[in-house]
Amino acid sequence: MAEVETGTAPPLQVWREREGALLRLRLARPKANLCDAAMIAALHAAFDAHRGEPLRGVLLDAEGPHFSFGASVEEHLAERCAAMLASLHALILAMAGFPAPVLVAVRGQCLGGGLEIALAGGSIFAAPQATFGQPEIKLGVFAPAASCLLPWRVSAAAAEELLVSGRSVGAPEALTLGLVRALAEDPEAAALAWFDEHLAGRSAAALACALAAVRAPRLRELRERLAEVERLYLDTLMKTEDANEGLAAFLGKRTPRWQHR
């Protein structure tokens, strides 16, 4: 998570290529590319707007040296976090249920809410120097969506370790864990090559049905689990002293004073 960025430029670039078969989405608030309310809304609107089109894939990447530093800490404060979680989890469900494969290309840091959004897509292609992590625990909170999504990608033990330690892993370790599909100096080019080889010549209707078939059990589970962890976050975690202290300490640029309650 990171502090709020300001700026008037649209947070997301959206275009079609490969004769309309591929939807391109690019986070466009470098260098942090915060997954704040504006970015989440722009991503959700883009997926909704293109849901009925005969796409064979989506490629999500980012401007600048980093994919995303994560969500804004201000939007995690007690008075704002309910709206933030509701919008983020709605986006996660929209991405997980999108009727075309969503490829993700990552450079630099991919953290917190940024990693949750990447996990909601499909295959992740990463630069060798990329890093991935869910650092929320260091602020006295946890990552609700990642708690549901990480065990789909890595072992349960690895997911738990990453979530409770808050440590970041480099791209080579992420590849070993199964978090990413492939490493490439140019991850966007690698994702495009994979699209050209495996998706461009397929039927959009068949892809949509194949995805619906293979994802149905996970989507049902994801809806239930997101509601469950959202309640845990709002009704239990945010009533603790440490959650509010951790967020306040980050914003105040000081070391948190944990009360363990």
Helices (DSSP H) in 50-186: which residue ranges?
Answer: 81-96, 112-120, 144-153, 156-165, 171-177
For residue 45, pLDDT beyond 80: yes
The mean pLDDT value for 65-76 works out to: 92
Q: Is residue 56 part of a domain?
A: yes
Q: Is residue 242 part of a domain?
A: no
Mean pLDDT of all residues in the chain? 95
For residue 137, pLDDT beyond 90: yes
157-174: per-residue pLDDT in tens?
999 999 999 999 999 999
Give residue 40's domain range.
Answer: 12-187
Q: Is residue 241 part of a domain?
A: no
**How confident is residue 75, by pLDDT bands cut at 50, 70 and 90?**
confident
209-247: per-residue pLDDT in tens?
999 999 999 999 999 999 999 999 999 999 999 999 999
For residue 5, pLDDT beyond 80: no
Strand partners, 24: 15, 59
For residue 3, pLDDT beyond 50: no
For residue 72, pLDDT beyond 70: yes
User: Rounded to whole angstroms, how far apart are CA atoms 56 and 102?
Assistant: 9
Q: Is residue 209 part of a domain?
A: no
For residue 7, pLDDT beyond 70: no
For residue 69, pLDDT beyond 70: yes
**pLDDT value at position 175?**
98
Q: Is residue 173 part of a domain?
A: yes
DSSP 3-state assignment of 215? helix
For residue 9, pLDDT beyond 90: no
For residue 1, pLDDT beyond 60: no
The CATH number of the domain holding residue 122 is 3.90.226.10
Q: What are the strands, taking DSSP E only, across 38-130?
A: 57-62, 102-106, 109-111, 124-126
Q: Is residue 75 part of a domain?
A: yes
Q: How many domains does the chain have?
A: 1
The mean pLDDT value for 122-149 works out to: 97
For residue 156, pLDDT beyond 50: yes
Percent of the chain with pLDDT over 90: 92
**pLDDT value at position 177?**
98
Q: Which of 47, 45, 25, 33 is nearest to 1 (CA)?
A: 33
177-198: per-residue pLDDT in tens?
999 999 999 999 999 999 999 9
**pLDDT value at position 73?**
86
Q: Is residue 163 part of a domain?
A: yes
Helix (H) or strand (E) holding 217, with range, is: helix 204-231
Q: Is residue 250 part of a domain?
A: no
**pLDDT value at position 100?**
98
**pLDDT value at position 105?**
98
pTM for this model (two decimals): 0.94
The mean pLDDT value for 204-211 works out to: 98
With beta carbons less than 8 A apart as the criterion, state whether 58 and 93 touch.
no
